[in-house]
Chain A
């Protein structure tokens, strides 16, 4: 699971109103080199919950010097976009779990795939 996906994932357990952001508990993290696409990264930035991204990167030990607040004019700032590219698309959680902040329900991550299946009672 890339942090881009994590930034978009919410808990959809029945009755939960704000199942976001999911808390990451990782036991294995991997970095996968990927071609840098500044256009895509710039396009995604406005859609991100910036705080959740920084927190997730911090939890995994990959925050480096990513600022707590989104900077202005990032489209022109290649160095910044590269940092975002790295945490968004290259850092991957391989094993661990995601925890719903509201219900406490845990979603296991195996082989890099979060299991978002619900029990029929929670659906």
Chain B
């Protein structure tokens, strides 16, 4: 019991755990912001969206919209759904570009068939494995969620979930319910040999069979997979930025501008002033 107390899901239901105090961290704790952003970036990479065109995406457990901000930076439009009003209030304060909906994923996704070009979800799915009310059955809630998500996705699109599974039975339950709902795909594990960097991404395909991408830092990456993007090594640009807020450095800004240029968007030219602290003006 002692160790399980460290998992937020065991402490309180999500709408109670993510209260104002917890939500504040998402706008103030730079470490938290950095991690959420990095995981969002990897999730979008795994979505494998068509290049150079804006997509319409769903962010499940969008919370304060850190993940959504990354989607906006990439030029995408999004709808976020979350169960915590405190987290959504932070998203409003942060003036996110996406549209927000208050909802419980265990009740199903309230969207028309074929609405979204893809779905991401960062650190939220494990919450569905808990029964917070007498009437809650985790397998049933997972199935309701996955089957309604499946229908709300355009054929051929993907859903990528970064999650913190508690144990292998939980992973098994989640994948089984996703497959029952019609998805194919599976788990991608980044840095499987590092206890700290290890990350789980459930990659689901709606209405097509795809080749599951390789996890980063896994030793078996020499088995070439044809017509699949090579993912390894893409993360290393972060390693020079330790300790610094990723979203402020000059490199980060240059990179973001470059991404926007690639999308054919209007971007101001880079100058020696790019990414410099501005003097306050009144």
A61, B80: Cα distance in complex, Å: 26
* Interface segment, one of A65-73, A75-83, A115-123: A115-123
Q: B110 and A12: CB pair below 8 A?
A: yes
Give the nearest-CB partner of B100 in chain A.
Answer: A113
Within 8 A of B (CB), among A28-86: 37, 39-40, 43-44, 47, 49
Cβ of B79 under 8 Å from chain A: yes
A9-B110, A20-B112, A40-B54 known; A116 vs B99 contact (CB < 8 Å): no
Q: A120 and B133: CB pair below 8 A?
A: yes
Q: B79 and A5: CB pair below 8 A?
A: yes
Within 8 A of B (CB), among A72-121: 89, 111-118, 120
Q: B107 and A123: CB pair below 8 A?
A: yes
A10, B113: Cα distance in complex, Å: 10
Q: From residue B43, how far is it (CB to closest CB) to chain A in Å?
A: 21
Q: B112 and A5: CB pair below 8 A?
A: no
Residues of B within 8 A of A49 (CB): 112
Residues of B within 8 A of A116 (CB): 81, 101-103, 107, 110
A5, B115: Cα distance in complex, Å: 10
Residues of A within 8 A of B88 (CB): 113
Q: A114 and B104: CB pair below 8 A?
A: no
Q: From residue A67, how far is it (CB to closest CB) to chain B in Å?
A: 22
Give the nearest-CB partner of B148 in chain A.
Answer: A12
Q: B102 and A113: CB pair below 8 A?
A: yes
Size bin of chain B's contact surface: 20 to 34
Cβ of A4 under 8 Å from chain B: yes
A10, B83: Cα distance in complex, Å: 17
Within 8 A of A (CB), among B90-118: 92, 99-104, 106-112, 114-115
Q: A11 and B110: CB pair below 8 A?
A: yes
Cβ of B53 under 8 Å from chain A: yes
Size bin of chain A's contact surface: 20 to 34
A44, B104: Cα distance in complex, Å: 26
Within 8 A of A (CB), among B62-89: 77, 79, 81, 83, 88-89
Contact of B111 among A8, A43, A44, A120 (CB under 8 A): A8
Q: A40 and B77: CB pair below 8 A?
A: yes
Give the nearest-CB partner of B54 in chain A.
Answer: A40
Q: A37 and B100: CB pair below 8 A?
A: no
Q: B79 and A8: CB pair below 8 A?
A: yes
Cβ of B277 under 8 Å from chain A: no
Binary flags per residue of B223-251, CB closer than 8 Å to A gives 1, else 0:
00000000000000000000000000000
Residues of A within 8 A of B99 (CB): 1-2, 4-5
A40, B135: Cα distance in complex, Å: 42
Q: B53 and A39: CB pair below 8 A?
A: yes
Residues of A within 8 A of B252 (CB): none
A47, B117: Cα distance in complex, Å: 11
Q: From residue A42, how far is it (CB to closest CB) to chain B in Å?
A: 10
A4, B115: Cα distance in complex, Å: 10
A44, B112: Cα distance in complex, Å: 13
- Given pairs A8-B115, A11-B110, A117-B104, 14 additional interface contacts (CB within 8 A): A4-B77, A4-B99, A5-B101, A9-B101, A40-B77, A43-B54, A112-B100, A113-B88, A113-B92, A113-B101, A117-B83, A117-B103, A117-B107, A120-B135
17 A-B residue pairings within 8 Å (CB atoms):
A1-B101, A2-B99, A5-B101, A8-B79, A8-B111, A8-B112, A8-B115, A9-B101, A11-B110, A44-B56, A113-B88, A113-B100, A115-B103, A116-B81, A116-B102, A117-B102, A118-B107
Chain B interface residues toward A at CB < 8 A: 53-54, 56, 77, 79, 81, 83, 88-89, 92, 99-104, 106-112, 114-115, 133, 135, 144, 148, 152
